[in-house]
Amino acid sequence: MDDPVVELNVGGIIYAARLSTVRKEPGKLADMFSNGVDSIPKDSKGKIFIDRDGVLFRYVLDYLRNQNIVLPENFHEKSRLKAEAEYFQLEGLLRSLDTESRQAGYITVGYRGTFAFGRDGLSDVKFRKLARITVCGRVALCREVFGDSLNESRDPDRGPMDRYTGRFFLKHLFLEQAFDNLQDAGFKCVASCGSGTSGGSAELKPGMDPEESRWNHYNEFVFMRE
């Protein structure tokens, strides 16, 4: 047969594909099968064994079949898949992953908080206290940038990845970590605004310092990726 079916055991998961599929693009897989299958390591049942992540290999094989990559909506292992693409030396898959992860758009990050004070009042400002970091934007972009740190529990709408939401917030309270995530994803801050301070006329919550309540503030930062 000119184009036989080959059975692969990748990290304990079994796949089957045409020989032409695994050799479709130059790289480690094509080199592995360039001289036939007799010299390739096999498992106890005679299947070709590849010591890599078996779950992620399905996306490698999908790419080779279609010359394109379409990832699930809740896929959070893009960095690991990129490592697999680098291992198999699939330049086309690497480009596809970079293209998918570099969609243009805007993300707005906001936070509400107060400044905490020292024992003797205003002159000793210690640190800021954040109540929550909110995230607004297109769902696909927000998930790409923040991954597992994105809390979607207040967003009951489920639907297309191109929808927008203002209900996401982060599972942590580290504003600089959120900024680092955005910078790593290629976003730049293009605008910001703040509410300043309040006059302290609002009713105090139990346990809140009356002096601290004068310094409530809300800020938003708009990030853009072209």
What residues contact 125, with CB distance under 8 A and at least 6 apart? 115, 116, 117, 118
What's the CA gap between 215 and 199, in Å, rounded? 8
79, two tokens: 């960095």
What residues contact 173, with CB distance under 8 A and at least 6 apart? 130, 132, 133
Domains of the chain listed by start with CATH number: 5-100 (3.30.710.10), 105-225 (no CATH)
Name the pairing type of β-strands 105-118 and 217-225: antiparallel
Q: With contact defined as beta carbons under 8 Å apart, do 18 and 3 qualify?
A: yes
pLDDT digits (tens, 9 = 90+) for 87-131: 999 999 998 887 766 678 999 999 988 766 655 555 555 566 788
Three-state DSSP state, 114? strand
pLDDT digits (tens, 9 = 90+) for 39-92: 788 999 999 999 999 999 999 999 999 998 888 866 878 889 999 999 999 999
Q: Which residue has the higher pLDDT, 2 or 170?
A: 170
pTM surpassing 0.75? no
222, two tokens: 């708009």
